[in-house]
Structure 1
Amino acid sequence: MHRHPGRKRERIDTTRLLWLQGAAALSVVAVGTLLAGIDGALSALMGGLVSLIPSLYFAWRIGSVRGGRQAGRFVSNLYRAEAGKFGLTVALLAMVFVAAPPSNPIFFFVAYVAVVLAHWLLPWTMRRRPAP
């Protein structure tokens, strides 16, 4: 295997996204606590976790995968990770609604959607700001 001396291979960094998703979930938990008490907080926590746990699984699956010469394997692993994330999401949603339905579904779904859509804010968090 030929390596290029000046070329640094980069790993996919999902840490910032996971922190952003966690912050989104905790924000909805805080709002749920203020507006609906413990029931709103627990429902929001469940919704956030149902969305965050599959994201953690996805990050774990692709965290050690690198592109480069093995692009075909990378894409295959990416599809497997996404399929596992989808399956885990479906299983978690089914488990929550069968075993422990949220007492406040509004906060459950708001937290779920907030975590899912948090990636839209990622480019904003990565903007380079000029040094003072």
Structure 2
Amino acid sequence: MNESQAIKPGKHTRETRKRAFKVLGVQAGIALIAAAIALTNGVVAGYSALLGGVIYLIPQTYFTWRALSLRNFGSARAALADMYIGEIWKMMIYLVCLGLALFFVKPISPFSIFSVLILLHLSHGFLQIKLNNRFLKL
């Protein structure tokens, strides 16, 4: 195949990408609702909960974008390598964001941050199952 013929994603790839970003959108809504609920306990708890949502969503969005990009479309070996690299970068971004937040943001409520992080981690699997009527590993 020459370069003038672009590889276009199939219907399954487009649907998977749409569902994955829909999950991220719902999780952003969950994070905002959790931050609003935490705000009833004080301003520090509210912005700490919102910060926890941001700390979760930035690396997850990066991984979703990288895993579902079309750079290695068609090669299973390259796609798997890209997934592993994306997961490593996701963990590094996650640790850096969490470290920066805990080090630089004062005052902060660690309970609010970690409760929203746990809530979003749990919601990810549940939303994948509900939106797809099956389990999609991503």
SS at the partner of 2:12? coil
Contact 1:28 1:107 in 2 (8 A): no
Counterpart pick for 1:111 among 96, 113, 116: 116
Which stretch of structure 1 is more off in the superposition, 81-90 or 23-32?
A: 23-32
Deviation at 1:30, TM superposition (A): 1.5
Residue segments in structure 2 that go unaligned for 5+ positions in a row: 2-9, 134-138
Contact 2:102 2:108 in 1 (8 A): no
Aligned-residue RMSD, C-alpha = 2.2
2:59 is aligned to 54
Is the alpha carbon distance of 1:67 and 1:81 closer, same or farther for their aligned partners in structure 2, counting shifts above 3 Å?
same
2:90 is aligned to 85
Contact 1:26 1:45 in 2 (8 A): yes
Contact 1:10 1:66 in 2 (8 A): no
1:130 is aligned to none
SS at the partner of 1:103? coil
1:19 is aligned to 25
SS at the partner of 1:111? helix
Tell me how far apart the structure 2 counterparts of residues 109 and 102 of structure 1 sit (CA, whole Å). Answer: 15
User: How many aligned residue pairs are there?
Assistant: 121
SS at the partner of 1:79? helix
| Residues 2-17 of structure 1 mapped to structure 2, 5 A cutoff | 8=10, 10-11=12-13, 12-13=16-17, 14-17=20-23
Is the alpha carbon distance of 1:78 and 1:55 closer, same or farther for their aligned partners in structure 2, counting shifts above 3 Å?
same
1:121 is aligned to 126
Identity %: 27
Q: TM-score, normalised by structure 1?
A: 0.79
Is the alpha carbon distance of 1:118 and 1:64 closer, same or farther for their aligned partners in structure 2, counting shifts above 3 Å?
same
Q: What are the Cα deviations for residues 84-116 of structure 1, in whole angstroms up to 9, with x where unaligned?
A: 000001111111111114522211111111122
Is the alpha carbon distance of 1:33 and 1:55 closer, same or farther for their aligned partners in structure 2, counting shifts above 3 Å?
same
Contact 1:47 1:111 in 2 (8 A): yes
